[in-house]
């Protein structure tokens, strides 16, 4: 999985932990499961389902960001968030059991953290030419 997605998901989980205790641990567990294991696991928004939702939003945010970069070098955060919301609603990836305010917070925080992670320079250990 791309470092920007994992970094963004981890940072989002930390920011959302005050409202969703244990989320950082569950996101970490979700990072170690395969994508096919995460699909459709939002359930009744138990902690594992919530972690899977954060991972899906992070992945979608990275995809949207890269798609938008073909049109503009630095897509605005609010534009990426809007595209993520639309794509989530079109694909029914957002669980119906989640409160609209919670979903909005998850999207807002996760997209912001993925974009923050995208803006960070590569660490020396991550340099592909090393």
The pLDDT profile of the chain, 130 residues, written as one tens digit per residue, is: 578 888 999 999 999 999 898 999 999 888 887 544 444 444 445 777 888 889 999 999 999 999 999 999 889 999 999 999 999 888 766 666 778 888 999 999 999 999 999 886 644 444 444 3
Instruction: Please tell me the predicted confidence (pLDDT) of residue 111.
Output: 96
Q: Would you say 114 and 65 are in contact if contact means Cβ atoms under 8 Å apart?
A: yes
Instruction: Locate 38 and state its tokens.
Output: 């995460």
Alpha helices in the chain (DSSP H): 3-16, 23-31, 35-38, 47-69, 77-91, 100-119
Placement of tokens 């955060």 in the chain: 77
Instruction: Please tell me the predicted confidence (pLDDT) of residue 81.
Output: 96
Task: Give backbone dihedrals phi and psi of 22, rounded to 5 degrees, phi first.
Answer: 85, -5
């Amino acid at each position: 999985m791309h470092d920007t997605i994992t970094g963004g998901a981890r940072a989002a989980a930390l920011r959302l932990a005050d409202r969703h205790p244990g989320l950082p641990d569950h996101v970490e567990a979700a990072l170690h499961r395969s994508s096919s294991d995460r699909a459709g696991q939002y359930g009744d928004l138990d902690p594992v389902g919530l972690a899977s939702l954060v991972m899906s939003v992070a992945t979608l945010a990275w995809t949207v960001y890269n798609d938008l970069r073909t049109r503009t070098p630095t897509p605005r955060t609010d534009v990426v968030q809007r595209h993520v919301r639309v794509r989530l609603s079109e694909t029914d990836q957002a669980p119906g059991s989640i409160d609209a305010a919670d979903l909005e917070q998850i999207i807002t925080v996760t997209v912001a953290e993925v974009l923050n992670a995208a803006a960070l320079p590569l660490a020396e250990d991550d340099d592909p030419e090393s």
